[in-house]
A and B are shown apart, each in its own frame.
Chain A
């Protein structure tokens, strides 16, 4: 069984700055994988490369047995890569349900069908009661869930979550963790970026640690947190470990 997602020797340079150097990771079907690392480790860049926001300077990205390196974001979404944004990007002048319908429309052009799907996803994400509220009226934790719901409506095989749990209260974070588990239970593979390790470690099957643009180590969460290399990498960033 091949991996669902693979990056092969991916590099990304911004002028003189190297954000990712020779990153090769793979994500298997049905996994929840955490992509962690201190600030500036290149997590967000890698994430954007996988989502198709920009093409890598060098290297290739394979998804579901296909080379997607040159595909724009919209086409990757069509192939089954859904994502959320670290800084939420809701469609502020649209209602919650309309936000989700946009996502659903990639699989159907029948409005009735798209609307049905959107209601279903909102129910799943626990936002059904807020369906007809403007997205701009949601509280931050609801906006995060809306991002997830919108991405789920595109029926992804792989869901990329960019710091969806950061900055939430403990209760909200727990609801988020439950949501991610339920997403995986529907058969969707999850790759999540988190800055703060404590939140993700209990949730993920496997963790990949990035530091200074390179893969530092990967493995079971329990092993990763004990790895001296990881501890050293995070030392300069003490608040993240203790947070």
Chain B
């Protein structure tokens, strides 16, 4: 009786594998560094948005403060490396754990808030962290941290000659975030999250511990976001508070999922693939002079998609929820 459902899960997995292999082969044909850069960013935002989607899409707790976790990941890695010589790989893990713990500590009071009060609390907390980092001298204050180049190697996770290793890491990160979501979607957690989003009272009456569900979603989401932040720090090798913890990051993480299809498995990927190249290209081709045309295009796109396709671009493919054929 479950064949159609199991088939759909397997089909998703196969499509994802094909996409990943295809993406991995692209650099063989595209040597242009500028394009490769856009691809890295696209994959990174796909991963970040997928992580954001876990808390905000599946569990319905709309966070516009995820830049906090992104920044924490970036700062943990950079500080451990520059101050103590700890390898970025460990920093990446440490950043993830710290972010997950902080997400839960913040969730403890915040998850009592509903609707706009919660959204504003997430913004306010991230902004507070931003201000604190801007005034934290040991961490470089507003000037930030320049990550010194040791040598090109996977050990130091530094590559100055070619962007390709970053590309493959970003691809792996996007795959991991997708797989985690895929796996969680058909698990107790996935069901609990969606139930909490749709109707917390009903969920509670069915034995769902609403608070624990939100905490779980926050921890997973923050961990993955911080790993993305760590990656970004290594990729750009220079970070400052505004460039990793600014409000715009919180939005850039949310937008692909919102435009692609919030609370869906493919939404964040689809959104990132459409949105990030478009943003980068408009910025370089028509917005180069800082005259704001890129913003106009970008903003108009957001308005148009949210009004015309409230369920996201994914709606173009599946017409809402994928329906299983009758048994």
> Does A112 belong to the interface (CB within 8 Å)?
yes
Number of interface residues of A (CB under 8 A): 36
A102→B192 contact, CB < 8 A: yes
How far is A101 from B320 in the complex, measured between Cα atoms in Å? 20
> Does A119 belong to the interface (CB within 8 Å)?
yes
How far is A20 from B326 in the complex, measured between Cα atoms in Å? 48
> Does B22 belong to the interface (CB within 8 Å)?
no
B202→A85 contact, CB < 8 A: yes
Q: Which residues of B contact A132 (CB under 8 A)?
A: 323-324, 326
Q: Which residues of A contact B209 (CB under 8 A)?
A: 74
Residue in chain B with minimal CB distance to A85: B202
| Residue from A53, A77, A90, A154 with most neighbouring chain B CB atoms (10 Å) | A77
Q: Which residues of A contact B198 (CB under 8 A)?
A: 90-94
> Does A151 belong to the interface (CB within 8 Å)?
yes
Number of A-B contacts (CB under 8 A): 87
- Chain A residues numbered 86-125 whose CB sits less than 8 Å from any CB in chain B: 89-95, 98, 101-103, 105-106, 109, 111-112, 115-116, 119
> Does B321 belong to the interface (CB within 8 Å)?
yes
A154-B207 contact, Cβ under 8 Å, with A98-B194, A101-B191, A119-B1: yes
B199→A91 contact, CB < 8 A: yes
Partner of B188, one of A53, A109, A133: A109
A93→B194 contact, CB < 8 A: yes
**Interface positions of B (Cβ within 8 A of A):** 1-2, 5, 186-188, 191-192, 194-195, 197-199, 201-210, 263, 320-321, 323-324, 326
**Interface positions of A (Cβ within 8 A of B):** 51, 53, 72-74, 77-78, 82-83, 85, 89-95, 98, 101-103, 105-106, 109, 111-112, 115-116, 119, 132-134, 150-151, 153-154
Q: List 5 A-B contacts (CB under 8 A).
A: A74-B208, A74-B210, A102-B206, A134-B320, A150-B202
Known interface pairs A53-B201, A94-B195, A119-B1; 20 further A-B residue pairs with C-beta atoms within 8 A, sorted by A's residue number: A73-B204, A74-B208, A77-B204, A82-B206, A85-B202, A89-B199, A91-B198, A92-B198, A93-B198, A98-B194, A101-B191, A102-B206, A103-B206, A103-B207, A105-B192, A111-B188, A112-B2, A116-B1, A133-B323, A153-B206
